[in-house]
Structures are given as structure tokens and as C-alpha cells.
Structure 1
Amino acid sequence: MSQHPNTYPKLHNAAWPGVVGKGDDDANPVIPLEEMLDLTAAAEVDGRKFDGVDIFLSTPHISIDATDEELEQVAEQVKSRNLDIGTVVAPVWEPTGGGSAAGDSDAVEAFLKQVRKGCEIGRKLRQLGVRPNGVIRIDSATPTAQWYEDPATNQSRIADTFKAACDIAEEYDERLAAEGEICWGGMHSWRSMVDLLERVGHPERLGFQADMAHTLLYLLGYNAPEDAILPEDFDWQDKEKKSAALHELTHALRPWTIDFHVAQNDATVHGTGSHDKTGRHCLPNDPNGKLDIAVDAGHWLRDEHGDVLQVCKHICWDGCMFPNDVMHKPQTWNDILAAMLSVQDAHGWNESEA
């Protein structure tokens, strides 16, 4: 019997750590898409390899305005390395052509324009046969400080914008996933995130993208102390209390979860370049990591009865803002793939069981 008998959820690596937080110093320039694909394709553990990548629709990786010919080239680059594409990130933020989902009419129009472009590219990649599953990732593109200026009004505006985004996604038969990051207003706490999803009320088009590094900060209420589940000075050696806190969090958000990032976090925040501080991504074996990756992933990937959910057809490793010298080490990606396999072993399934 194989050491790793499960084939689902498929194991993806994220390409955007080659772009996010990069380019501001000589030691950490942007890592080109092809190099990220090579690093991903080279990783191997017990004869198993990554199945695919999730991508960022932003230059210099892939332009949100990419032509059909350029998308065909991307598809070929990915296929030639025996990989698929899963989730794509739409650049909905102001510096990349978007705007705040809680902003004025011009900002909302810019936001929705980027959503439309993202959905169109997502559909084209499906038509090219390189994207068998995945969602379009969005967020509110609204800084937390801006949201707090008028929480009620801003939450309502974001919900209205997301409803319009759902209408666009329906045109392209895509699903949107809002990522729970503490740096985005309206999504900065778990209660606000649930409230937003319920206000939009289109689970067939809008769901939640859970990232283990970011959602850990939900427990501490970093940008929303009123919603903290654990105290600021929590003793992370108390695994029973940590498990109970994760249970409370996932009970609220798991029904909305349609996309999942495996990650490690040391219970701190981090930001580089233009990226606001959010849950720090650590290497899977970081001695300061507070997550037991395989065990804690089960809170998201199994239901209340402990049965394996088959909602997320792939899971993705997110290692944003790692230094380039770390990312260029082959062992980094082997360690990450091993962590991904541990999640698949613990909470996966085979196609025959689907």
C-alpha cells in the first residue's frame, strides 16, 4: 500500500509569494513565474509531487489584461511541468487598478472591473484545459482603519459590492472566495467575516477562503479585540484550549469555506513592501510555529461529526513574504510538500470515494 494513499485534495503551491512583498530591496527581487513553477515542479517527497499552482493575476507574473495568446503561453508553461492551475487571485486593490469595495461609485466600479477580468481569465484557463477546479480570490480592498471610520455604512457597502461581484461571477460560472485576512476591513475579524458572508447571502457564488496563518490571528482578535476568542497572553502549550478555540472559529466559518490554504504561523503579524501587516507565514517546521498543521487543518477539512469534507478539491500552501534566499532552497519546497502530504494523508480521499 502506498505511503500516501489519498489523491485528493490535490496539492498546490502558490505562485504569488514570488511577487507579494518583493522588489523593494536588492536581496528580495521579484521571482519570475517560470522560476516559481520550476521550484514547485522540482519538489518531491516519497515519490509524490505537487499537483498544481494557484496564481496571482498581476505583473510581472500574469497581467490582469493578458491576451488570449499570453494565457495560452501560461497554460503551456504550467502543463509542461505536469501541473494544473487552481485558484486565481484578482487584483482588486487601488494600486493595481481596483478600488475599495466600500468606496465611492468610481472605486466600486474599478473593483468590479477587476473581478470581471479575473473571472474571464479563470474561464479561459478552464477552456484551455489547465484549470480543473478553483475559485477567484477577492477581499474588500478596504484598509481596516478606513472601515472603522464608519463600520455600519462600510460593511453595508462592501456587502452590496460583493453582491454585484456575485452577479458577475455567475456570468462566467465562477465562484468567489473572500480571504480572511486581518488587514482588510469587514474581514478583519471572524464575526465581521461571518456577518459579511451572511449579508451577501449567495453561498453558491461567494464563500470563504481560510488560510491557517491568517485565521490563527482571528483567535487573538489582533485588529478586533472585541472578537478575540483567546487572551493576548495565551499559553500555546495548552492544546486543549487551542483546539476548543479553533472549534468555535471553524464552527462559524467552515460552512462558508470553499478554498483552503495550509500554512504555519507563530501568532505574530508581518508585512513587507506595500503589504499591510497580517498573519505571519512561517516555514512548516518553524520552532516558533503555533499550529500542528495536520491536526489543526482537520478543524477546517472535517465536519462537526469528524467526517472528511470533500468541498475543497485542492488545497494550497501559502508562504507569502519568505526571504528569497529561503525560497531558492530546494529543501524549503520539499519540507512544504511534506507538510501538505501530511494534511492529505489525514483528511484526504480518493476519486473513487467522491
Structure 2
Amino acid sequence: MPNAFPKLHNAMWPGLVGKEPGTDHPPISLDHMLELTAAAEVNGQKFEGVDLFLFHPHTDPDASDDDIRAMADKIASYGLNVGSVVAPVWPGTVGGSAMGNELERDNFVLAVQKACRIAKILNEHGVRKYGVIRIDSADSPTHWADDPIGNTRKIAQTFKEAAKIAKDHGERLAMEGEICWAGMHSWQAALKLLEEVKMPGTVGFQADQAHTYLYLLGYNAPEAALLQPGYDETQFVTAYTKMTDALRPWTIDFHVAQNDGSVHGTGSHDKTGRHCPADDPNGKIDIVKTAGYWLKGAKERGIQHICWDGCMFPNGMLEDPKTWNTILAKMIQVRDAHGWNE
């Protein structure tokens, strides 16, 4: 019998992140991202849900209850569920730096509060039955390095305040393990931050295969590197095992992705892990094999879905149906190898 879990989701934010109006890579609407997702099919299997970015132009974080329910109706009409949602915690959205001044930190917490409200409406609608609220520190490793100990404490305190609100809503927060975010720019820094927060039932880790690969190489944190250029397979396994053993117990949200060993980004996402197509010949990761390191014990940690992340893919690639069929096929392989049934 084929595995029914984890459910297979597609991220909607690749239609927004790194996109700029008036250029040759403008934002792709939520409607179109849903159409592309729903159209994908591999041997009768389709995507089962989407993860959402709760900011313009996809979602107004201050949208009325009726508008949120209308969005839920539309998503459900495609036969899709909603899983994890991304809180608009960055400056220029609702939020502000989690290690900034009092107003910035208050705005960060406000962004999580707005995300919890939307998640509650989606839950009550029935389109959302699982998933977390994703956050990051909304600041850079460069700023963090001015005072590593003090800034880690500030971020942790902000996360704790946000977590109180999330817990009251029955939600969990997953901090994104990505090298462009202060306090989570290396596997060691992320682990220290999680231990500083000390709320394992409410605040956990979101692992992305593309981003966490760069943890191994020490981008933005050479002192935390576990691999050097020219590494062999034995060295890779040793390093990957060490990293995942440390972070897996905290991992409550997981992104399937590929990386070619380079960095790419725009704006606040500068110098971040480059997401590559699932079949990219330059991909450094055996997607199916390495997913198993993160998904061990996933059911017990409350993970019920996995999500593909292809941030900053060119629009032409995002709008090519072959892209999504290739991705879906790889995600099916991940579930076949590491999934479960209730």
C-alpha cells in the first residue's frame, strides 16, 4: 500500500520572492500559482496542498474574515489544502527586526499575531488541518555579528513573545534555517537560538534541503563549516549526520529542494541558498536520500506534510508545466522512501 503521509505541498511564495513589478520577472499571482500546482499530475498523483505567504499581493495580512474565507474556498475548489503559512515579519511588510528596537520587535510580534488570525480562519473553514507558522529573524548575519550573544538573546526573547500568541492559537512557530537570517545563518547558531528560546513544543526548526546544504559549507559562518571543497561521500555522510542529528529533534517543517552549491538572492534574501530544479544536473544533493535524514521520526514530531520550495526560479521555469511534474515526481519518491500511513 502506498504511503499516504506526508502530504505533498507546493509553496506559493516562489511567485513573489525575488519578483519585481515592471521587470521580466514580475510577481505571479496566487490564482496562477494555484492553477500551475493543480495542473501537475504524475501517474494519477497530484499535489495535495499549498503553503502560503501572508502578504501582498497574494494575501492582505489585514484582509477581512470574509476575504480570507473566499481565498480558502478558492484553494479548496482546486482540491488543495493549506499547510504552513509564512508570517510577514520583515521590515517593509508588517514586521521588523527580531533583534531591533522596541517598535521593530513589537511589529515582529504583531506580524505573528496577524498570521495566527488568518490561520485560525483557515482552520475553522476546514481547508487547513495541519502545518505551522514560519518565521525568521528579519535581520542580517552582518548586524548580528556586532553582538552575537546579545542579539541572540534579543531574537530569542522576541520569539518567546510571539510564541505566547501562537500557543494561545494552537499554533507552532518554525524558524527558517537559512544563511541570510541573523542567528540562524549557521547550524550552530540556529541550535543555540533554539536552545535559548527553550520552547520545543511551540518553537521549532524549518529545514530546507537547499539552505541547510550550505550550512555544511560554512557560508556566512566559516567557523561552523563541516565540509571543505573536494569532500568525498564518506565525509559528506559524516557531516550531514552531525548536522541533522543536532537539528532534527527540533524540525517541525520540511522543504524538499535542490542546491548546486552556490548562493543567490535579492534584497533581504541576498546571499542565500540557490534553489535548483529537481533534476538539475549540477545539483549537489541526492534529494531522496538526504530527505530521509530529516524525516526520521517526522510523524512523532507532528509533521504531516512536506513542501517543495523553488524560490527565485525564473518565471519561464515556474510557468512551464514540466517543471511541476518533475518536482511532483521527486516528492513522490521522497514519500515512497520515507513516508508512512496512519
Question: Which of 269, 274, 279 is the aligned partner of 2:273?
Answer: 279
Render the CA deviation track for 1:205-259: whole Å, top value 9, x for unaligned: 100000000000000110000000001x234xx2222121110000000000000
Residue 333 of structure 1 aligns to a residue whose secondary structure is helix
Q: Shift of the alpha carbon at 1:26?
A: 2.5
Residue 308 of structure 2 aligns with which residue?
Answer: 317
Alignment of 1:51 onto 2:51: no
Q: Distance in 2 between matches of 1:215 and 1:274?
A: 18
Q: Shift of the alpha carbon at 1:309?
A: 5.5
Question: Which of 233, 247, 250 is the aligned partner of 2:244?
Answer: 250
Q: Distance in 2 between matches of 1:262 and 1:234?
A: 25
Moved more, 271-280 or 79-88: 271-280
Alignment of 1:159 onto 2:150: no
Render the CA deviation track for 1:303-330: whole Å, top value 9, x for unaligned: 5xxx976631000000000000011110
Residue 88 of structure 2 aligns to a residue whose secondary structure is coil
Question: Which of 8, 13, 36 is the aligned partner of 2:10?
Answer: 13
AA paired with 1:189? S
Residue 186 of structure 1 aligns to a residue whose secondary structure is coil
Render the CA deviation track for 1:252-280: whole Å, top value 9, x for unaligned: 00000000000000111101355322110
Question: Which of 324, 327, 333 is the aligned partner of 1:333?
Answer: 324
Alignment of 1:265 onto 2:259: yes
The answer on whether the counterparts of 1:102 and 1:142 sit within 8 Å (CA) in structure 2 is yes
Superposed structure 1 runs of 4+ greater than 6 Å apart: none
Q: Shift of the alpha carbon at 1:117?
A: 0.5
The percentage of counterpart residues that share the same residue type is: 57
Alignment of 1:68 onto 2:65: yes
Alignment: residue pair count: 342
Q: Distance in 1 between matches of 2:121 and 2:173?
A: 16
The answer on whether the counterparts of 1:24 and 1:273 sit within 8 Å (CA) in structure 2 is no
Residue 204 of structure 2 aligns with which residue?
Answer: 207
Matches within 5 A, 1:94-173: 94-173=91-170
Q: Distance in 2 between matches of 1:125 and 1:199?
A: 31
Residue 186 of structure 1 aligns with which residue?
Answer: 183
Closer, same or farther in 2 for the Cα pair 1:311/1:170, shift >3 Å? closer
Matches within 5 A, 1:212-251: 212-231=209-228, 233-235=229-231, 238-251=232-245
Residue 95 of structure 1 aligns to a residue whose secondary structure is coil
Q: Shift of the alpha carbon at 1:126?
A: 0.4
The answer on whether the counterparts of 1:182 and 1:214 sit within 8 Å (CA) in structure 2 is yes
Q: Shift of the alpha carbon at 1:36?
A: 0.3
Q: Distance in 2 between matches of 1:239 and 1:131?
A: 40
Moved more, 82-91 or 142-151: 142-151
Q: Shift of the alpha carbon at 1:59?
A: 0.6
Unaligned runs of 5+ in 2: none
AA paired with 1:346? A
The answer on whether the counterparts of 1:301 and 1:309 sit within 8 Å (CA) in structure 2 is no
Render the CA deviation track for 1:55-95: whole Å, top value 9, x for unaligned: 00011101111111110111011100000000000010111
Q: Distance in 2 between matches of 1:240 and 1:260?
A: 24
Q: Shift of the alpha carbon at 1:107?
A: 0.7
Taking structure 1 as the reference length, what is the TM-score of the superposition? 0.94
Render the CA deviation track for 1:33-53: whole Å, top value 9, x for unaligned: 010000000000011000000
The answer on whether the counterparts of 1:177 and 1:209 sit within 8 Å (CA) in structure 2 is yes
Q: Shift of the alpha carbon at 1:123?
A: 1.2
Q: Distance in 1 between matches of 2:143 and 2:102?
A: 16
Residue 94 of structure 1 aligns to a residue whose secondary structure is coil
Alignment of 1:175 onto 2:177: no
Matches within 5 A, 1:8-47: 8-23=5-20, 26-47=23-44
Question: Which of 293, 296, 317 is the aligned partner of 2:287?
Answer: 293
The answer on whether the counterparts of 1:86 and 1:134 sit within 8 Å (CA) in structure 2 is yes
Q: Distance in 2 between matches of 1:291 and 1:324?
A: 24
- Give me the CA root mean square deviation: 1.3
AA paired with 2:333? S
